[in-house]
Amino acid sequence: MDAGELFAAICERIPDAMSRHKVPGVALGITCEGRDFARGFGVTSINHPLPVDESTLFQIGSTTKTFTATALMRLVEAGKLDLDAPLRTYMPAFRMKDPDVTARVTTRHLLNHSGGWEGDWFEDTGDGDDALAKYVGLMSKLPQLSPLGSVLSYNNSAFSLAGRLIEVLTGKTYETALKELVLSPLGLKRSLLLPTQVMLHGFAVGHATVADKTIVLRPWQLTRASRAAGGIAASILDQLRYARFHLGGGTAEDGARVLSPQTIAAMQSPGEIGELDYKMGLGWRIQSIGGIARVFHGGGTWGQISGFVMAPERKFGLALMTNSNTGGLVARDATKELLPKFLGYEDPEPVELPMAAAQMAEYAGRYDQLLGDVELKVEDGKLMFHVSPKGGFPNRDIRPGPPPPPFRAGLVAPDRIAMVEPAMKDIQGEFLRSPDGKIAFLRWGGRIHVRQ
C-alpha cells in the first residue's frame, strides 16, 4: 500500500463513520515523500450548510500548542530565550500560588506539561491586547496539584503563559508575533487566529449530539487568552504545509531556513516526562511503536476535534479535522488498522486482565478535576466509570452538558485501565501513586484527577 492507496482507503471509511457518529463535516489530508492528498466531506454547518473542501477552515485546537512551541524555539535560536532559565528571568512580576514554583518554573516545564498546577482554567480576560497579561496576572490563584517537573498533566494555562512570554520577548501581541515568527515564514496564509479574519473564508462551526439530536454549539471561538493554547483555524492544505516543514528539518517551502535541523530534532525527541506509552518532546508527543517514531498532537475546541500525526522516518504526515465533539471517533474508525499497516507496525489492542475484588475496591473512589469529576464504583462485580462534567470550557461561564452514561473499565496492566465498551473502547487511563504507595491521582484524558 502506497500513500495514495492509504488515502483512498481512509476516504472510503469516512462517510460511514460520519453517519455513525453524527459528524457533519470532515477534512482529511496526507503528505508523504513529496506527494499530497486532500479531500473534504460533508458540510460546514447543519444550519447553513456549505460543502467542506480543502480550503475550509477548521479549528485545530491544541495543535496550536506546537505552533506556540515553534515560535518559542525561533526565539531560542535568536538568543532571546533559554528554555531552562526561570521564567522570572524574563517576567520578574510573574507569580504562582506556590513560591517554589514561582522561583523555579522554566519554559521547558510549560512545553512538556509538567508545571503541576491546575491547567484547565479558561478565564475570559477580554478581547483587548492586554488579555494575556491579565490572564497571567490571575494565575497566582491556581492550586498546585503536583510538584514542579514531576508529573505530566495536560496544561492549557501553561501555554497561555507561554504565549505571554512570547509577547514579553518580542514586544508584540501573541497574534502578531506568531504570524511573524511562524505563519508568514511558512507561507501559512489560511492559518488564522482572529475571528474577524476567519469569517472572510469558508469555515466550520462546532456541533454536538444531545438526546440523538445534532445541534450547533456556541460560542464559536475560544477566549483571546486561550489562543496560544488552541486558537488557530486552518485549512487542511495549510496543515499539510505545516507538516512538511516539521518533516523537512526546518526549511520552508520557499527554501528559507526557519529552524535548524538540530532544533527540529530536539522538538521531536522524547524527554523524561510522559504518560501511558508516550513521552513529551518540546510541544510534541512522541510514541515509538515497533521502532517507528510517531510525533503527534491534536485538539478539541467547542465541538471541533482534530488530529495531527507525523512519522519523520517516512516523511509522512496525516491531518484530520472534524466539526463535532464526536469527531475523534471518526478519526479512530477511519484510520484504525490502516495507518499501522502503512507505517509498518502492529498496534495491538489492550488485553483485559482479571481484576480481583480487592483491586476494584482500591481503585474505587472519587477523583476531582476542574472541568469534570470521575467516580469509580464497583457495581455487580464490575468497575464502572461515572463522569460528572462541571462546565467551564471554552470559557468559565459555560454550563456543564449532560453526563455520559456509565461505562466499564478493565485492567490491562498494573495500575492501568482501559475502557472496554463502545464508544469509549480502548481509551486508557492510569493510577498514579504517592511515595507511600497510596493512589494519589487518576490520569485520564491526559489530566491528573485528584483522589478525594
- Minimal CA–CA distance to 226: which of 172, 163, 182, 166? 163
Residue with cell 499497516: 341
The Cα–Cα gap between 228 and 66 comes to 9
pLDDT of 394 reads 92
Bridge partner list, 307: 298, 320
One pLDDT digit (tens) per residue for the chain, 452 residues: 899 999 999 999 999 999 999 999 999 999 999 999 999 999 999 999 999 999 999 999 999 999 999 999 999 999 999 999 999 999 999 999 999 999 999 999 999 999 999 999 999 999 999 999 999 999 999 999 999 999 999 999 999 999 999 999 999 999 999 999 999 999 999 999 999 999 999 999 999 998 889 999 999 999 999 999 999 999 999 999 999 999 999 999 999 999 999 999 999 999 999 999 999 999 999 999 888 999 999 999 999 999 999 999 999 999 999 999 999 999 999 999 999 999 998 887 889 999 999 999 999 999 999 999 999 999 999 999 999 999 999 998 899 988 989 999 999 999 999 998 877 787 899 999 999 999 999 999 999 999 99
Return the sign of the alpha-carbon dihedral for residues 35, 39, 44, 49: positive
The pLDDT assigned to 345 comes to: 87
Listed residue (231, 157, 229, 208) closest to 400, CA to CA: 208
300-343 pLDDT, tens digit per residue, is 999 999 999 999 999 999 999 999 999 999 999 999 999 999 99
pLDDT digits (tens, 9 = 90+) for 15-41: 999 999 999 999 999 999 999 999 999
Distance (Å) of CA 42 to CA 15, 22, 324, 329, 450: 8, 11, 12, 16, 40
* pLDDT at residue 350, rounded to an integer: 86
* Cβ proximity of 169 and 87 under 8 Å: no
Q: Which three cell numbers stand for residue 73?
A: 524555539
Burial of 321 (0-12, 13-18, 19+ CB in 10 A): buried
pLDDT at 346: 83
**Cα Rg, the chain, nearest whole Å:** 21
Q: What is the value of pTM for the model shown?
A: 0.97
Cis peptide upstream of residue 354 (ω within 30 degrees of 0): no
Task: State the Cα–Cα distance between residues 410 and 425, nearest whole angstrom.
Answer: 10
| Separation between Cα atoms, residue 66 and residue 239, nearest integer Å | 12
